[in-house]
Amino acid sequence: MIPWTEKYRPKRVSEVVGNKEAVESFLSWAKQWSAGKPSKKAALLYGPAGVGKTSLVLAYANENGLDVVEVNASDFRTAEKVEQIVGLASQQATITGLRKRIILVDEVDGLAGKEDVGGVSALLKVITNTRVPIVLVANNPWDQRLAGLREKAQLIEFKRIHKATVVSHLKKICAAEGLKCSDEVLKEIADRSNGDLRSAINDLQAIAATGTISRETLNVLGYRLRDREIFSALAAAFNAKSVRDGRLALEGLDMDLQSFYQWVFDNTPEQISDIDALAEALERLARADMHLQRTTRLQRWGLMKYVTPLITTGVAAAKHKAPTKFAKFSFPSKIRFMSNTRNDREMRERIATKIAAKCHLSTSKAWREILPFIAFIFSHNGAKARGMAKFFDFDKSEVSYLSSGLKSSKK
């Protein structure tokens, strides 16, 4: 399954919707470069996520036959690395010398948060000496530590995509996919995306995957928004063919790496049926787990960067070694177990405390000796239950918990 955000990523600059001003100013900057006289050697594209910053650069490169060297600033732990990677790319000619090149440095704002501030100055130096256009991308470029970069670069601001533009873009995708989809639903999706076209397209794909695109599906899916996001992230992770794919799989997912690890871990045995491939995948997950534990225990945040490739591309590579069958993703049992029992435990605790207060007992005694009777009354005699609820000061959720009959009453 290829994510629609990738499938419909603009191939040409003219396919980048919205942000006309930004596109224009990017093109005029790029034109200066191709004429050999750029007034600024770098451009800094900034603005919210999912509005086409990366897409514009890739489309331009594609249309003009440029090779893109794409790097992520969060991978640079040291100034040295910046020089090694970007510096080298900015000087070297391509092997054949025929193709030109453009450098795309994503997540530049990540450099500002680093304890090692050398990264920014190294990047500045690279920009001063570059023979190749360098595009920096950031969500928020206003950190004090990025001041130097702002000065050196042509600033190009991207804004959220207008709702009407989002709707018409979604319509085009529906048409291409042969889907019927009412305006009302598309508007709702656009509304929720808040001008983030990537998330709008992801939502559309998730909704389409349920088979019917209607108001109702939308309502049903509404409160499961996070689940949908995670399922499409999982699909992308298990199909990642490059480190970049792996990173893209997690883009825009509002979940910490530890939880995502749990999702991947629990789904791996389902997804990989070949025993050798499975062993290999688990080996990588074990290594990722080690890095995760060390990251927090030793406060070595730099280790974090090894986790994503291992749990996405690493697992996917193992999976692709053997023929695969289609398997659905499922909710991690550990997470489900924890949240189920957490609710249960908290509920018991609250109820027992209230009983204990009224009956002058310890909470554990209240739970063991009084509660079974109360629960029996609640599930058999609504009228009595109402009176008792008042007496014990139970709230609605507690009443319905008691009325449902207790699943387990251990304490």
Ligand X SMILES: Nc1ncnc2c1ncn2[C@@H]1O[C@H](COP(=O)(O)OP(=O)(O)O)[C@@H](O)[C@H]1O
Q: Residues interacting with ligand X, by CB under 6 A?
A: 5-6, 8-10, 16-19, 49-55, 197-198, 201
Min dist CB 24 to ligand X, Å, is 13
Q: Please choose which of Mg ion, ligand X, none residue 309 contacts, taking the beta carbon within 5 to 8 angstroms, the exact cut-off set by kind.
A: none
**CB-wise, 172 or 224, nearer to ligand X?**
172
Q: Which residues from 384-403 bind Mg ion, rule CB under 5 A?
A: none
Min dist CB 374 to ligand X, Å, is 54
Query: With CB under 5 A as the contact rule, which of the stretches 4-12, 16-24, 52-60, 193-201 interacts with Mg ion?
Result: 52-60
With CB atoms as reference, the residue minimizing the distance to ligand X is: 52
Q: Please choose which of ligand X, Mg ion, none residue 52 contacts, taking the beta carbon within 5 to 8 angstroms, the exact cut-off set by kind.
A: ligand X
Residue pair 39/153 in contact by the 8 Å Cβ criterion:
no
Q: Please choose which of Mg ion, ligand X, none residue 59 contacts, taking the beta carbon within 5 to 8 angstroms, the exact cut-off set by kind.
A: none
Min dist CB 261 to ligand X, Å, is 24
**CB-wise, 197 or 240, nearer to ligand X?**
197
- Pairing status of strand 153-157 against strand 100-106: unpaired
> H/E/C letters for each residue in 137-156?
EECCCCCHHHHHHHHHEEEE
Q: How far apart are CA 327 and CA 82, in angstroms?
A: 41
Query: With CB under 5 A as the contact rule, which of the stretches 51-59, 119-127, 201-209, 383-391 interacts with Mg ion?
Result: 51-59
**CB-wise, 54 or 295, nearer to ligand X?**
54
Burial (0-12, 13-18, 19+ Cβ within 10 Å), 28 = exposed
Choice from 22, 30, 45, 54 touching Mg ion (CB under 5 A): 54
Min dist CB 43 to Mg ion, Å, is 14
Q: How far apart are CA 51 and CA 56, in angstroms?
A: 9
Min dist CB 332 to ligand X, Å, is 27
**CB-wise, 4 or 367, nearer to ligand X?**
4
Structure tokens belonging to residue 386: 């109402």
**CB-wise, 225 or 322, nearer to ligand X?**
225
Min dist CB 215 to ligand X, Å, is 25
Residue pair 157/23 in contact by the 8 Å Cβ criterion:
no
DSSP letter for each residue of 145-203: GGHHHHHHEEEEE--PPPHHHHHHHHHHHHHHHT----HHHHHHHHHHHTT-HHHHHHH
Min dist CB 36 to ligand X, Å, is 28
Q: How far apart are CA 134 and CA 343, in angstroms?
A: 51
**CB-wise, 236 or 292, nearer to Mg ion?**
236
What lies within 8 Å, CB to CB, of 383 at 6+ separation is: none
Q: How far apart are CA 319 and CA 19, in angstroms?
A: 40
**CB-wise, 54 or 363, nearer to Mg ion?**
54
Q: Measuring CA to CA, which residue among 302, 404, 275, 315 is closest to residue 351?
A: 404
Min dist CB 113 to Mg ion, Å, is 18
DSSP 8-class letter at 214:
S
By CB under 5 A, tell whether 19 contacts Mg ion.
no
Min dist CB 10 to ligand X, Å, is 5
**CB-wise, 232 or 268, nearer to Mg ion?**
232
**CB-wise, 139 or 262, nearer to ligand X?**
139
State the virtual CA torsion across 93, 84, 87, 63 in degrees, nearest 10: 60
Q: Measuring CA to CA, which residue among 44, 247, 244 is closest to residue 140?
A: 44
Q: Measuring CA to CA, which residue among 237, 277, 230 is closest to residue 254?
A: 230
Query: With CB under 5 A as the contact rule, which of the stretches 46-54, 306-314, 343-351, 382-390 interacts with Mg ion?
Result: 46-54
Q: How far is CA 117 from the centre of its chain?
A: 27
Residues that bind Mg ion in the complex, under the rule CB under 5 A: 54
